[in-house]
Amino acid sequence: MNQKTNIESSYKLQANSHKPLVNSNLLSKMNTENWDCKLAVMKYAKFVLFTFAFFLSTFALSAQQQRFPKPEFDSGYTQPSPVTPEPRALALEYFDVLVLLLVLSAATYLALKSRSRQGILWLSIFTLAYFGFYRNGCICSIGSIQNMVLSFFDPGYSVSITTLLFFLLPLLFALFFGRVFCAGACPLGAIQDLVIMKPISLPKWLNKTLGLIPYIYLALAVLFAATGTDFIICRYDPFVGIFRMDAKFHMIVLGVAFLLMGMFVARPYCRFLCPYGVLLSWMSRFSKWHLAITPSKCIQCKLCTTSCPFDAIDFPTNEKEVVKSGLGPKRFVTYALIIPLWVALGVFVGNRSHTFLSKANPTVYLAELMISKPEIKDDLDNIDVQTFRASGESMDELVLEAEAIRDKFYTGSMIAGGFLGLVIGMTLLNTVVFRKRQDYEPHKGNCLSCARCVDYCPVEK
Amino acid sequence: MKNKGIVIFLIVLAVVIIAVMVGDWYSKRPDRMEANKFEYNIEEFRKVPEELILFKEVKNFRVGFENPAGITSSGDTIYLVGDQKLKAIDIDGQLLLEIDFQDKPTTVEVEGENIYLAFGKSVKVLNRAGEIQDEWNIEGENTYVTAISGKEDFVFVADAGNRKILRYTKNGNLLDSFEGKADADDLHGFIIPSPYFDIDVNEYGDLWAVNPGIHSLEQYTDNGNLREHWQASGAQTENFSGCCNPAHFCFLEDGSFVTSEKGLVRIKIYKSSGEFLGVVAPPTKFDDKIEGQAPDVAVDNKGNIYALDFDRKVLRVFEKN
């Protein structure tokens, strides 16, 4: 009844509003007026129907609410509100930088000036406690490589001044004083240093070969960071789980395996994996004030040769033998000439492997997966697929994004391959470079400035 | 070879390191994700060791209800409510009585010569012949009666909507009510997250109520003072799981509890002290549903347990092994 009344009255209203128009042009507008009236009736009928349906739904909702009330848990327990951890205070971050600076200075003083192995040992214990267990292995100079790289390649990513200083300070110290960071300021080095029990000397060829791994690791770390794929240095930090007392089982296994290995192969992570060690090694080679085994003239007692667990002491060279063999210059020229070939080979390998490497990127992998297995989009247990679907992004957009990343990998993999080719070429070349040495000297690039050799040297100032 | 043992040890460690790194690398892919450890999976708890199952199903009846609602027993007679009916059957399933109502009853209880039926916000009192003797309306916007139980002088009505137990005289006079609350820390009051709030009086006249939100059974004096309680929380067979269990319970003649749970549907028995005795019907006896309904339970004078299975709409009879 109400509906009918409303429709009738609305019809009248509409008719009245058209009255002046009817008077002015009655005949010609007769049909138009009738049509307008019908439209108006339909419009108001819709409104009334909507109102009626709305009240019905409200009634149904209230009926549901009355059927059974919502529970009221009255146990006295107050649900705590979730708390997002605050970032570390800026002042404390600067304090960390200050601690690093002080530790680096102390390590330099203890290695170069006071020549105290014991002092460096205690310093590394402090480092382990502070940067390792207290700061949970983060921030760390080793991982900061990735932050630096990403900040160069991603305009939306920037590094803090703390990260920048953690990256630069050890390198600067290495440039002037050698790898004092490795000696006393690196928690990863410190934890390995403490477990050295019976270090064995590795064959030279094995040392050289394994010594290439950090370059590969560095190249991959830079490639993955530059493409926004992963921070693999952090991901495979074997000791961070021990520092945090919280890691997945397999990461604990990794850390323990490195420590067990470190009992016989001193500091295996530092020597054969650490990518930051590559940069430190480069810097250290130019260091003017590097640790010296003897404070005065070497007496060739050879006591220091067995002291270094890292095989980082170079022996005096036998100039006569090299000259006599006559092979030095020939090999040098040959190895120098094939360096471009190594680089070309590296670029080629990088080119061929970019597709494989790009699969490490979650976007690329997801795009390939969804193309090769379209049915996976219905897998409700696949969190990555469901997250992508929930994002509202289309498949085309995903593929475009994946292609852009793969392009980056194409270029990056070739650069990384070329770099590794150059490293291999230079390593081979170094094997035939004759460096005149009359005394036992620490290898500036490989020496970790731990001062063990200093303890063995009988020479006094 | 010098240091042969150490070299072998080092090679093994190198293999372990490589295996861990490579394994981790390949495991973190969208199609190689580890199983969701947070998945709601109660399959393990559906399995009950045979030695814990003390009863066996001997027969079952179709009750003829589209929506069964409740069951109780008195002597050899079983009373059932559902749809808009009350039915009484004997232990062989022969229909003795059938009465129609305007509304849908939610629960039934027999005490003395009276049959009490709840209809959400009211209680109808019938004699054994099924004639309506009285009707009590219960005040309150949220009132929702889920259980009735009686003893010589009083009738207790469980109001799940208002989370309290009302005490009536046999004549329908409301004497008092209580919510299970007190100053003492061990009394939280009734926590009723859903309309499952059962009460019963045992052979000794003790009033017991389920506090389903905390998985406890609590004994109260007639005027609402807590006398004792026991609690069993957990998904394991000997405990009660989910938001609100046990959903239904009744007593064996010796005062042992027969409990029925929803979700992970199972019927179990506990000693009067609350110690777990065994299982009447394990989860595998019921439909494999995520939200299985808890069967209402009753016990006859021979110690047989009757379970009104809401999912299968049958009355199932369990006899001791």
The tens digit of pLDDT for each residue in A91-103 reads: 999 999 999 999 9
Which residues have CB under 8 Å from A135's CB, separation 6+? A96
In a domain, A240, yes or no: yes
> Measured between CB atoms, does A66 come within 8 Å of chain B?
yes
In the numeric block, the tokens 């327990």 are attached to: A77
> Measured between CB atoms, does B36 come within 8 Å of chain A?
yes
Q: How far apart are CA B197 and CA B249, in angstroms?
A: 10
SS3 B31: coil
pLDDT, position A317: 81
Answer yes or no: is pLDDT of A267 > 60: yes
Give the distance from CA A140 to its chain's centroid.
11
Task: Tell me which of A164-168, B186-190, B202-206 is least confident.
Answer: B186-190
- The nearest alpha carbon in chain A to B121 belongs to A67
Domain that holds residue A418: 322-428
| Interface touch A71/B194, C-beta < 8 Å | yes
Q: Percent of chain A at pLDDT above 90?
A: 60
Task: Tell me which of A120-124, B165-169, B177-181 is least confident.
Answer: B177-181
Q: How far apart are CA A440 and CA A301, in angstroms?
A: 9
Answer yes or no: is pLDDT of A358 > 90: yes
In a domain, A66, yes or no: no
Q: Any idea what DSSP says for residue B214?
A: G
Question: Could you tell me if A309 and A393 lie in one domain?
Answer: no
pLDDT band at A30 (very low <50, low <70, confident <90, very high): very low
pLDDT band at A146 (very low <50, low <70, confident <90, very high): very high
pLDDT, position B252: 93
Question: Could you tell me if A334 and A263 lie in one domain?
Answer: no
Q: What is the mean pLDDT of residues B260-281?
A: 94
Q: How many CA atoms lie within 13 A of B310 on its CB side?
A: 25
pLDDT, position A24: 37
Question: Could you tell me if A311 and A335 lie in one domain?
Answer: no
Answer yes or no: is pLDDT of A327 > 80: no
- The nearest alpha carbon in chain B to A249 belongs to B20
A451 phi-psi bin (left φ>0, alpha ψ -120 to 50, beta other): left
Question: For the sheet containing B132-137, what is the strand order?
Answer: B107-111, B114-118, B122-127, B132-137
Question: Could you tell me if A297 and A415 lie in one domain?
Answer: no
Q: What are phi and psi of B168, to 5 degrees?
A: -115, 155
Answer yes or no: is pLDDT of A126 > 60: yes
**How far apart are the CA of B293 and the nearest CA of chain A, in angstroms?**
17
Structure confidence by residue, pLDDT tens digits, A242-258: 999 988 899 999 999 99
pLDDT band at A4 (very low <50, low <70, confident <90, very high): very low
Q: How far apart are CA A255 and CA B107, in angstroms?
A: 63
Structure confidence by residue, pLDDT tens digits, B99-131: 999 999 999 999 989 999 999 889 999 999 989
| Interface touch B20/A67, C-beta < 8 Å | no
Q: Chain-wide mean pLDDT for chain B? A: 90
pLDDT, position B91: 87
> Measured between CB atoms, does B42 come within 8 Å of chain A?
no
Residue numbers in B near A365 (CB within 8 A): 29-30
Tell me the residues of chain B between 182 and 201 that have a Cβ less than 8 Å away from chain A.
185, 188-189, 191-195
Answer yes or no: is pLDDT of A195 > 70: yes
pLDDT band at A34 (very low <50, low <70, confident <90, very high): low
Q: How far apart are CA A154 and CA A163, in angstroms?
A: 16
SS3 A116: coil
- Cross-strand pairs, B308: B296, B315
pLDDT, position A21: 31
Q: What is the mean pLDDT of residues A343-358?
A: 95
Question: Could you tell me if A121 and A200 lie in one domain?
Answer: yes
Answer yes or no: is pLDDT of A22 > 50: no
CA B237, B242, B248, B249 torsion-angle sign:
positive
In a domain, A435, yes or no: no
Which residues have CB under 8 Å from A281's CB, separation 6+? A179, A445, A446
Q: How far apart are CA B296 and CA B316, in angstroms?
A: 10
**Nearest 5°: CA angle at A158, between A153 and A164?**
100
SS3 B126: strand
Q: Which segment, A59-63, A147-151, A328-332, B119-123, is predicted with the most confidence on average?
A: A147-151
pLDDT band at A381 (very low <50, low <70, confident <90, very high): confident
Six token digits for residue B14: 């190198």
Answer yes or no: is pLDDT of A365 > 70: yes
pLDDT, position A63: 43
In a domain, A340, yes or no: yes
In a domain, A223, yes or no: yes
In a domain, A433, yes or no: no
In a domain, A263, yes or no: yes
Q: What is the mean pLDDT of residues B297-313?
A: 92
Answer yes or no: is pLDDT of B150 > 50: yes
Looking at A139-248, list the stretches that DSSP marks H as alpha helix, in order from N- to C-terminal side: 141-153, 161-177, 180, 187-193, 204-210, 213-226, 232-235, 240-244
pLDDT, position A27: 38
Q: Which segment, A5-9, A125-129, B111-115, B289-293, is predicted with the most confidence on average?
A: A125-129
Question: Could you tell me if A166 and A223 lie in one domain?
Answer: yes
Six token digits for residue A21: 């128009």
More confident residue, A62 or A45: A45
Answer yes or no: is pLDDT of B256 > 90: yes
pLDDT, position B183: 63
Structure confidence by residue, pLDDT tens digits, B152-177: 889 999 999 999 999 999 999 999 99
Answer yes or no: is pLDDT of A321 > 70: no
Q: How far apart are CA A398 and CA B30, in angstroms?
A: 15
Task: Tell me which of A23-27, A186-190, B182-186, B197-201 is least confident.
Answer: A23-27
> Measured between CB atoms, does A247 come within 8 Å of chain B?
no
pLDDT, position A17: 35
- The nearest alpha carbon in chain A to B11 belongs to A261
> Measured between CB atoms, does B40 come within 8 Å of chain A?
no
> Measured between CB atoms, does A308 come within 8 Å of chain B?
no
Question: Could you tell me if A176 and A229 lie in one domain?
Answer: yes
Q: What is the mean pLDDT of residues A79-106?
A: 89
pLDDT band at A62 (very low <50, low <70, confident <90, very high): very low
Task: Tell me which of A52-56, A307-311, A431-435, B244-248 is least confident.
Answer: A52-56
> Measured between CB atoms, does A368 come within 8 Å of chain B?
no
Structure confidence by residue, pLDDT tens digits, A423-447: 999 999 988 887 788 889 999 999 9
Q: How many domains does chain A have?
A: 3
Q: Which of A69, A200, A264 sits opposite B142 (nearest CB)?
A: A69
Identity of the residue numbered B311? D
The four Cα atoms B3, B6, B11, B12 give a dihedral, to 10 degrees, of: 150
3-state percent breakdown (helix, strand, coil) of chain A, nearest 5: 70, 0, 30
Question: Could you tell me if A310 and A273 lie in one domain?
Answer: yes
In a domain, A64, yes or no: no
In the numeric block, the tokens 């063990």 are attached to: A452
| Interface touch A362/B21, C-beta < 8 Å | no
Letter string b/e over residues A369-378, b meaning 16 or more CB atoms within 10 A of that residue's CB: bbeeeeeeee
**How far apart are the CA of A384 and the nearest CA of chain B, in angstroms?**
6
Question: Could you tell me if A222 and A280 lie in one domain?
Answer: yes
Per the CB < 8 A criterion, the answer to whether A257 and A249 are in contact is: no
Is this complex's ipTM strictly greater than 0.85?
no
| CB atoms near residue A364 (< 10 Å) | 24
pLDDT, position A73: 47
Question: For the sheet containing B296-299, what is the strand order?
Answer: B55-62, B314-320, B305-309, B296-299
Q: Chain-wide mean pLDDT for chain A? A: 84
pLDDT, position A29: 42
| CATH class for the domain made up of B49-320 | mainly beta
pLDDT band at A28 (very low <50, low <70, confident <90, very high): very low
